């Protein structure tokens, strides 16, 4: 009766799998079924999509509607499929030509009013789409710069579903009111959900460090400690700093990223992808090209250190310091479980988190700096 398909991306850690979103309309009692291993937030997309379509001025098909996400075996989480589901439905209802939709990858959450909102992990999702040979992606307008970091992909940033329908149907594109300037986007703030790990335990991340202007030249004296920091940077060695309070341990550790080499293009994309999945990319400056610095407090939970959490798994401190510095101040205060959990990433350069929905792998190749101000840890003084 009516069929259309388009694409989106399911994220597993920082790796993406292109998912085909198919919509099928059959005569029958109006119903909307979503199949293909969706999680709770994705199942809720049925209601968001229906409201967004209606509020965008399009007609909701009053027939038996089935939306399938394939491959069905890959677990799918989050709200980033909304845009693709809405367009597949509109394609099946012939509001949009289904042929136009087939080769486009769409990523974005829909508000009930039809506005397109950003989701975590746009960069790795677009990297996966490009890797699978797709050349056109549609993303929320505020994430277009992030998506454009991927070479060989043409990116369309849209503000609302209404705009996207107009572009795809070759109609004049309506203007959308911009978000009020100066006011923090509640949605971007919402990406950093307190209590879910990554964003809470850090008092610094790659982006913050980039602007901090820390310079090793600020350190007065301390020649041997400075040499140690330089040797660690040059050789990629881990570092243990011991000394009385106020001796400058934290100061030295904070300045280590500044003397590490800048990240190469590939490394920048890797680091940026991790921060993108964590929802920590600074808006307006999507590429992280200097080594990140991450200093979790010693009360950090295992999850905030190694990663995890519900829905799309978040990277932990070990991954947020990938290709940069992980600073564990007052190291003995960390729980022994947390310190033990660092062994795997230290040995293998990545962290593997097993969850009921599958295994998630994040890169975690960092330079570790430990600091301790108490009595000599090794000589028992």
Ligand X SMILES: Nc1ncnc2c1ncn2[C@@H]1O[C@H](COP(=O)(O)OP(=O)(O)OP(=O)(O)O)[C@@H](O)[C@H]1O
> Looking at beta carbons only, is 29 or 220 nearer to ligand X?
220
Q: Is position 250 an interface residue for ligand X (rule: CB under 6 A)? A: yes
Nearest to 321 by CA among 222, 230, 253, 226: 253
Stretch that binds ligand X, among 25-33, 95-103, 248-256, 289-297 (CB under 6 A): 248-256
Separation between Cα atoms, residue 271 and residue 103, nearest integer Å: 28
To ligand X, the closest distance from the beta carbon of 207 in angstroms equals: 21
Element (H, E) at 48: helix 45-55
124 belongs to the binding site for ligand X (CB under 6 A): no
Asked if 271 and 323 count as a contact pair (C-beta separation under 8 A), the reply is yes
Q: Closest-CB residue for Mg ion?
A: 250
Rank residues 218 and 340 by Cβ distance to ligand X and give the closer one: 218
String marking each residue 208-247 x if it binds ligand X according to CB under 6 A: -----------xxxx--------------------x-xxx
Closer by beta carbon to ligand X, 102 or else 216: 216
Quick one: angle between helices 265-278 and 122-131, nearest 10?
130
- Cβ of residue 212: shortest distance to ligand X, in angstroms? 12
CA-closest candidate to residue 363, choices 15, 123, 126, 18: 15
Selected from 117, 249, 314, 323, the binder of ligand X by CB under 6 A is 249
Nearest one of 247, 294, 279 to 118, comparing CA atoms:
279
Report the C-alpha gap between 216 and 324 in whole angstroms.
Answer: 16
Contacts of 20 (CB under 8 A, 6+ apart): 5, 6, 7, 69, 70
Stretch 239-268: interaction string toward Mg ion, x if CB under 5 A: ----------xx------------------
Q: Residue 20 or 242: which CB sits closer to Mg ion?
A: 242
State in angstroms the smallest separation of the CB of 247 from Mg ion: 9
């Amino acid at each position: 009766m009516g069929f259309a398909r388009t694409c989106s991306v399911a994220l597993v850690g920082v790796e993406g799998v292109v998912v085909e979103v198919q919509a099928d309309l059959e005569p029958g009692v109006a119903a909307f079924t979503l199949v293909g291993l969706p999680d709770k937030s994705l199942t809720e997309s049925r209601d968001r999509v229906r409201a967004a379509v209606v509020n965008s001025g399009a007609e909701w098909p009053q027939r038996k509607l089935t939306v399938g996400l394939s491959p069905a075996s890959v677990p799918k989480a989050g709200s980033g499929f909304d845009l693709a589901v809405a367009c597949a439905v509109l394609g099946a209802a012939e509001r949009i030509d289904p042929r136009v939709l087939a080769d486009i990858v769409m990523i974005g959450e829909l508000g009930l009013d039809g506005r397109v909102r950003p989701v975590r992990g746009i960069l790795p999702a677009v990297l996966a789409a490009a890797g699978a040979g797709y050349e056109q992606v549609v993303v929320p307008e505020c994430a277009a710069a992030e998506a454009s970091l991927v070479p060989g992909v043409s990116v369309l940033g849209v503000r609302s579903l209404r705009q996207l329908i107009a572009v795809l149907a070759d109609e004049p594109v309506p203007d959308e009111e911009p978000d009020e300037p100066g006011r923090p986007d509640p949605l971007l703030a919402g990406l950093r959900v307190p209590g879910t790990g990554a964003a809470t335990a850090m008092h610094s991340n790659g982006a913050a460090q980039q602007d901090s202007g820390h310079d090793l030249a600020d350190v007065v004296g301390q020649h041997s400690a400075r040499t140690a920091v330089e040797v660690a940077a040059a050789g990629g060695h881990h570092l243990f700093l011991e000394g009385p309070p106020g001796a400058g341990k934290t100061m030295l550790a904070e300045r280590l990223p500044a003397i590490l080499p800048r990240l190469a293009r590939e490394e920048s994309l890797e680091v940026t992808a991790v921060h993108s999945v964590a929802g920590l990319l600074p808006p307006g400056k999507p590429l992280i090209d200097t080594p990140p610095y991450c200093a979790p407090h010693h009360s950090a939970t295992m999850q905030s250190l190694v990663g995890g959490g519900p829905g799309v798994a978040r990277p932990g401190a070990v991954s947020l310091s990938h290709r940069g510095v992980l600073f564990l101040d007052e190291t003995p205060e960390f729980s022994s479980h947390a310190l033990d959990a660092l062994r795997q990433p230290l040995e293998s350069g990545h962290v593997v988190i097993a969850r009921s929905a599958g295994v998630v792998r994040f890169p975690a190749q960092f330079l570790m700096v430990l600091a301790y101000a108490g009595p000599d840890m090794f000589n028992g003084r």
